[in-house]
Amino acid sequence: MRCLAIETSCDESAACVLERSGDGFTILAEEISSQTAVHEAYGGVVPELASREHLRNLPILVDAVLHRSGSSVRDLTVIAATRGPGLKGCLMIGLNFAKGLALAHGVPLLGVNHIEGHLLAPLLDVPDAPFPHLSLVVSGGHTEIHEVSGIGRYRLVARTTDDAAGEAFDKAAHLLGLSYPGGAKLAAIADKFRDSPDKKRFSLPKVMREAEGFSFSGLKTAIALLVQRNSALLQDEQLKGALCAVIQESIVDALVFKLREAQLRLGAEFITVTGGVSANALLRERVLELAHGKAAFPLPHHCMDNAAMIAHVGALRFERGERSPLSEEVRARWPVEGMD
């Protein structure tokens, strides 16, 4: 069973060839082309530019993963592509590319839900993670907790009512003069200043204690005010580092608070965290503490958008007998609940 997968839902073009090996899967080849440099000047993703880049990148990436995995299209058991949610134009490039290959070579097609890809990405490396478990999907576009009772069995427990945690990281990083997307850069600085005594010079409110779900707009405003008020101090690298540490702690604290709430309410023991922000070291440490070590995370390069997570879901669903018709359309919005 060999699956080629294509991911183009936002600003990452990615392709992967994955093969079933025993109880698990082996990634034979994967490629990812990030468009950060294209969008950096605009401070965010420009959908038209993203689509154009996908169109340019995909043939090269797919050719590379087929070549490196020693596969021809005819060797493939199934071709999976992200069907949604995401930017419509971007999704159409990837899904239509997959349809073209599937039609030309008579290989079955499977449209995959991008959030399901993230939800199950930790299981690529920990295939025996127990069900039910809680999964925090936390990226530049999503901040939500799901109860995962099995493959395809997801229940939304909490979601953001405004911004995503990754946006809060990126906005704070921008205010501190770090280039887009600055979340990882801010986190790298923050980690060096975790024990800085200067941290007590800055404080941020504890947010989301009463509210249902996540809400990052208040915290984003509080961070903006704190940075503005202290702009004169920020010429000092030590103080800037301490401020980064305080910002990181406040965002991570809010995420872990909501996870603890869900854990208490649902009695789930095992926790996974996935999506771009799950690369965050402090978040991983705090979740491991909360779950007493019973937690799993994707490999660092599978936290952000990638095609291995799409191949994984494509393969699992293919094995359950699922196929998509060639007439299948993209779904810019596509809730992951009720997909069993």
The answer to whether 298 contacts ligand KG4 (rule: CB under 6 A) is: no
Residue 94 in contact with ligand KG4, rule: CB under 6 A:
no
How many C-beta neighbours within 10 Å does residue 187 have? 23
**Cβ at position 269, least distance to ligand KG4 in Å:** 25
Applying CB under 6 A, the site for ligand KG4 has a residue count of 18
Least distance (Å) from Zn ion to the CB of residue 234? Answer: 31
Nearest distance in Å: CB 150, ligand KG4:
24
Which residue, among 152, 119, 124, 113, has the nearest Cα to 136 in the 3D structure? 119
User: How far, in Å, CA of 163 to CA of 158, rounded?
Assistant: 13
Q: Please select the residue that binds Zn ion; options are 13, 57, 139, 196, rule is CB under 5 A.
A: 139
* Residue 254 amino acid letter: A
Q: Angle at CA 4, nearest 5°, toward 323 and 113?
A: 55
Residue showing tokens 């530019």: 49
Binder of residue 272, out of Zn ion, ligand KG4, none (CB less than 5 to 8 A by kind): none
Residue 31 binds Zn ion (CB under 5 A): no
Residues facing residue 324 across a β-bridge: 109
Note whether 87 binds ligand KG4 by CB under 6 A.
no
Give the residue at shortest CB distance from Zn ion: 305
Among 6, 10, 61, 268, contact with ligand KG4 (rule: CB under 6 A): 10
66 sits near ligand KG4 (criterion: CB under 6 A): no
Least spacing, CB of residue 167 vs Zn ion, in Å = 13
Per-residue tokens: 158: 């909490």
Provide, rounded to whole angstroms, the least separation between the CB of residue 1 and ligand KG4.
27
7 binds ligand KG4 (CB under 6 A): no
For position 277 contacting ligand KG4 by CB under 6 A, the verdict is: yes
305 binds Zn ion (CB under 5 A): yes
Site residues for ligand KG4, window 173-192 (CB under 6 A)?
A: 181, 183-184, 187
When asked if residue 170 is in the footprint of ligand KG4 (CB under 6 A), the reply is yes
Integer Cα distance of 235 and 195 in angstroms: 20
What is the number of other CB atoms lying within 10 angstroms of the CB of residue 42? 10
Considering beta carbons, is residue 14 or 98 the nearer one to ligand KG4?
Answer: 14
Query: In the complex, what is the shortest distance from the CB of residue 114 to Zn ion, in angstroms, rounded to a whole number?
Result: 6
Partner whose footprint covers residue 31, from ligand KG4, Zn ion, none (CB < 5 to 8 Å by kind): none
Confirm if 45 and 11 have CB atoms less than 8 A apart: yes
Q: What is the rounded distance in angstroms from the CA atom of residue 316 to the CA atom of residue 308?
A: 12
Looking only at the bridges linking them, the beta strands covering 133-138 and 271-274 are: parallel
> Which residue shows structure tokens 């293919």?
318
Q: Give the list of residues 6+ apart from residue 309 with CB closer than 8 angstroms, or none.
A: 7, 117, 118, 120, 121, 124, 298, 302
**Residues with Cβ within 8 Å of residue 126, at least 6 apart in sequence:** 296
Residue 76 vs 165, nearer CB to ligand KG4: 165
Q: Which of residues 304-333 bind ligand KG4 (CB under 6 A)?
A: 304-305
Q: CB of 157 within 8 A of CB of 134?
A: yes
Eight-class DSSP state of 147 = E
Binding site for Zn ion (CB under 5 A): 139, 305
Binding site for ligand KG4 (CB under 6 A): 10, 139-141, 166, 169-170, 181, 183-184, 187, 275-277, 279-280, 304-305
